[in-house]
Amino acid sequence: MRFRWLQRTGFASCVAFFTIQSHKVRCHAQIIPDATLPNQSTVRLHDNTRFIEGGTRAGSNLFHSFSEFSVPGNSTAFFNTSPDVQNIITRVTGSARSDINGLIKADGIVTNLFLINPNGIVFGQNGSLDIRGSFVATTANALQFGNLGTFSATNPEAPTPVLTINPSAFLYNQISTAPIQNNSVAPAGLHLANFETYGLRVPDGKSLLLIGGNVIMDGGQLNAYGGRIELAGVSAPGNINIVITTNLLIVCLLCLTKFCIKSQNLR
């Protein structure tokens, strides 16, 4: 089944295609740091929890880099960090997609989590989130930080110390962009109205963004009560701007020459 929405901006009109279909889920269960950061990411396994520590700081941003990042079922990937980190920015520099079949967790007072994998990201039926801020999953090549530089998964140089501001754009340089698929129907806690919720969930008032080529909702659910859900895809190389406010992450829908954003905003 295929759904279409029409999203109009000040520059152009774009049609969003979100396909609901079944796919076989590959079993990747590795979180493997690469050797691209000055201060390397580390992974410590205890019982069924992989504690992710280290990483390279730039102001309130914490950068992690992995050759593979997938979470097996009945396990947790726990980003263990200091409470003053505002953005945890994680890239995958290898060639495998990320299969999230367990829990992604991050501590911190209000910490946003970015997961960048140009090879694709699949949230399985039991994939879930436990974070304090907003969450972004993207198949972009890189994040732009104003005019200060980028943090790239396909050209994995070390982040410069000046990348202390919030990310400003998602950069798509590849001709063929990998999809993001959400199958998650995992228990996600009670709503304030006392009903059960299921699927991927961020705290009330925060943002949940899935930004890929196609965004495939294979029975999966998304929850951001009082916040913002955005599904966005790209049909050609280009940039997608992002604005980070006190509570929300907002995609700026600008359709540029030879580049079209396919998006649906849900509040």
User: How do residues 84-106 score in pLDDT, each as one tens digit?
Assistant: 999 999 999 999 999 999 999 99
Of the chain, the percentage scoring pLDDT greater than 70 comes to 83
Instruction: Give residue 33's identity as a one-letter amino acid code.
Output: P
- At 246, is the pLDDT very low, low, confident or very high (cuts 50, 70, 90)? confident
Per-residue confidence (pLDDT) for residue 99, from 0 to 100:
98
- At 29, is the pLDDT very low, low, confident or very high (cuts 50, 70, 90)? low
Question: Which tops the pLDDT comparison, 30 or 136?
Answer: 136
Bridge partner residues of 57 (DSSP): 62
**Mean pLDDT for the stretch of residues 160-188:** 91
CA 265 to chain centre: 16
5 pLDDT more than 80: no
Question: Which tops the pLDDT comparison, 1 or 41?
Answer: 41
The span from the CA of 157 to the CA of 14, in Å, is: 34
User: How do residues 227-237 score in pLDDT, each as one tens digit?
Assistant: 999 998 887 78
Per-residue confidence (pLDDT) for residue 263, from 0 to 100:
37
The span from the CA of 128 to the CA of 150, in Å, is: 28
The span from the CA of 113 to the CA of 118, in Å, is: 16
Per-residue confidence (pLDDT) for residue 220, from 0 to 100:
96
165 pLDDT more than 60: yes
Lowest mean pLDDT among 40-54, 166-180, 185-199: 166-180
Lowest mean pLDDT among 74-78, 176-180, 213-217, 258-262: 258-262
**Mean pLDDT for the stretch of residues 9-13:** 25
Token digits for 230? 């955005």
The span from the CA of 224 to the CA of 201, in Å, is: 6
Spell out the SS3 assignment of 88-120.
EEEEECCCCCEEECCEEEECCCCCEEEEECCCC
- At 249, is the pLDDT very low, low, confident or very high (cuts 50, 70, 90)? confident
Token digits for 115? 């997961």
- At 112, is the pLDDT very low, low, confident or very high (cuts 50, 70, 90)? very high
pTM, whole model, 2 decimals? Answer: 0.85
Token digits for 159? 């982040």
The span from the CA of 138 to the CA of 132, in Å, is: 19
